[in-house]
Structure 1
Amino acid sequence: MDCTPNSLQGKSIIVTGAAQGIGRAIARLALDLGAQVTAVDLNAEALAELRLACGDAPLLTLAGSVADAEFAAHAVREAVARFGAVHGLVNNAGVTRPAMIEKMTAQAWQQVIDVHLTGSFHFLQAAGRHMLERARAGDATGGAIVNISSDAGRRGTIGQINYGAAKSGVLGLTMCAAREWGKYAIRVNTVGFGVVETPMTETIRSDKFRDTYLAQIPLGRWAAPEEVARPVCFLLSDAGSYVTGQHLSVNGGYTIGL
């Protein structure tokens, strides 16, 4: 028996948006911690590269859109067929379509809402149904769901009202699901990131905005994908067994408060 507190040995975890950036780092760390991982992404080519990089690790890759409810149900079924169950989910998939409020198109609004908010709901619902079925059949192992939010969802953001609204909505998903499913030992939490070194944050990290943002971060630097993956895996593990309905900010101190 593995007694390491944050071990994921024997756990089957689904990670959306897993082919690059933060999602890829979470998937790789989960594998290193002993998990069986189902990596979901829209980019089939990037998933193939991940599969190659992971060698013979217990990794299942599935290409599709998180905004498709049928695909979410399919992903859970495939994970169960391959690994026997789903014990954890990380709702990480995301896109950006920036524009100032008065210039934002309905399409740009909807695309971001569909991926971040509706997509998170589809996968939370599909994975939750499976976890509930196991619990009602007498399986007491429960499950752990981590929804990825952002500072934009807690304090707002300029030029991304679609993203900020979606990420704020993710906090609501977490709180409602945590209340409904706690009695089944299904824990649901949110991790909100600040500026992580990924392609999605290239504009913020550019010379034009760099100093302004760094001045607001007490740790004085950007986060690496590998280090923000660690608290996510903590919440998936038994080390987080009494944590649910919480919003953990992983942002170098960009937001500080009670």
Structure 2
Amino acid sequence: MTASSEGRDGTGNRKGAGGLCGGRVVIVTGAGRGLGRAHALAFAAEGARVVVNDLGVGPGGDGGSAGPARQVADEIVATGGEAVAHGGDIATAEGAESLVRTALESFGRLDTLVNNAGFLRDRMLVNLSEADWDAVIRVHLKGHFLPLRYAAEHWRAETKAGRAPVARVVNTSSGAGLLGSVGQGNYSAAKAGVVGLTLVAAAELGRYGIQVNAIAPAARTRMTERTFAGAMAAPEGGGFDAMAPENVSPLVVWLGSAASDGVTGRVFEAEAGRLTVMEGWRPGPTTDRGARWAPADAGEAVRKLLAEAEPPRPVYGAGQGGG
């Protein structure tokens, strides 16, 4: 699982390497299973050299094993690709810095970062402990920020040295972050934060040749199997598996490639064969009296505005009981 020493052209691709991401070096966090594994394999199939990061923890963040990351890296190598495993905790500065250093020491460069790592600790708000809140916010939000911060630091240095990168970051939000999800206050808050981080990073980092986008995927993984139960089961007897994680990866690979030039600061939903550009918060009906409102008058004005506004999409799970 070591890098080759082939020459490179000005696009960050290995000369003679095939595929959409030929020769690009890609980090995928949380790549030992589920969506991350699918992304890592898809990038490798398109010619990328992959750093496979995973702590190997359980669905709730418990335990830990180097096995899942190593298995995916070995799978890539067995099919003729190049990959290395990284088992560091990317929600720590030390782990995130070592993740970027692993890419540079193994392959001599870094082109794409896919932030995907995460786990769930679902509770209704009145039952949600501070520890479960902190753990989920940490892995999803801090675990996005720190790898992004160290990758961006490297790419900024490259730009200042006259080696402008063709850099890509793909963050992972969720429908829960866009709409909310009953029983997932911690997860919804973290994934909404990922969207905000994505928008700021796209605005700040474009000057260094870095594009930053986010996806809100829907697929069958360990994190979703309890939420969706049988609705996400693989079809019997073959046919299109609408909930396979592999359905999301083509968009991620394209966003992580040089071919996505000019696309930044966007959020996409990806589910089965459907891709959607999410348009986010935009101003709706408004009124301005040119002076301070009295509370009762403000309330009356708001009710008139709400009557003109589009109704919000429902929160996932709204109307269902819970304890």
Please report the TM-score for the alignment, with normalisation by the length of structure 1: 0.89
Partner of 1:183: 207
Residue 154 of structure 2, aligned match among 120, 130, 152: 130
2:216–2:268 CA contact under 8 A, matched in 1: yes
Residue 16 of structure 1, aligned match among 8, 24, 29: 29
* Aligned partner of residue 114 in structure 2, secondary structure: strand
Deviation, structure 1 residue 49: 1.8
1:135–1:142 CA contact under 8 A, matched in 2: no
Q: Distance in 1 between matches of 2:124 and 2:251?
A: 32
CA pair 255-81 structure 1, distance change in 2 beyond 3 A: closer
More helix by share: 1
1:1-258 → structure 2 map (5 Å cutoff): 7-43=20-56, 44-54=66-76, 55=78, 56-194=80-218, 196-207=219-230, 210=231, 222-251=242-271, 258=279
Identity %: 37
Partner of 1:215: none
1:142–1:186 CA contact under 8 A, matched in 2: yes
CA pair 254-96 structure 1, distance change in 2 beyond 3 A: farther
CA pair 7-254 structure 1, distance change in 2 beyond 3 A: closer
* More displaced 10-residue stretch of structure 1: 161-170 or 176-185: 176-185
Q: Distance in 1 between matches of 2:17 and 2:41?
A: 21
Superposition RMSD on alpha carbons, in Å?
A: 2.2
Deviation, structure 1 residue 66: 1.8
2:17–2:47 CA contact under 8 A, matched in 1: no
Q: Distance in 2 between matches of 1:256 and 1:140?
A: 28
CA pair 3-53 structure 1, distance change in 2 beyond 3 A: closer
Q: Distance in 2 between matches of 1:47 and 1:227?
A: 21
Deviation, structure 1 residue 256: 8.3
Q: Which has the higher contact order (CA 8 A, sep 6+)?
A: 1
Partner of 1:214: none
2:28–2:50 CA contact under 8 A, matched in 1: yes
1:14–1:39 CA contact under 8 A, matched in 2: yes
Q: Distance in 2 between matches of 1:242 and 1:202?
A: 35
- Structure 1, unmatched stretches of 5+, are 212-219
Larger radius of gyration: 2
CA pair 125-257 structure 1, distance change in 2 beyond 3 A: closer
1:131–1:142 CA contact under 8 A, matched in 2: no
Q: Distance in 1 between matches of 2:151 and 2:161?
A: 16
Instruction: State the AA in 2 paired with 1:32.
Output: A
Please report the TM-score for the alignment, with normalisation by the length of structure 2: 0.72
Deviation, structure 1 residue 134: 0.7
CA pair 184-255 structure 1, distance change in 2 beyond 3 A: closer
1:21–1:225 CA contact under 8 A, matched in 2: yes
Q: Which runs of 4+ in 1 moved over 4 A?
A: 1-4, 252-258
Q: Distance in 2 between matches of 1:247 and 1:206?
A: 26
Q: How many residues align?
A: 246
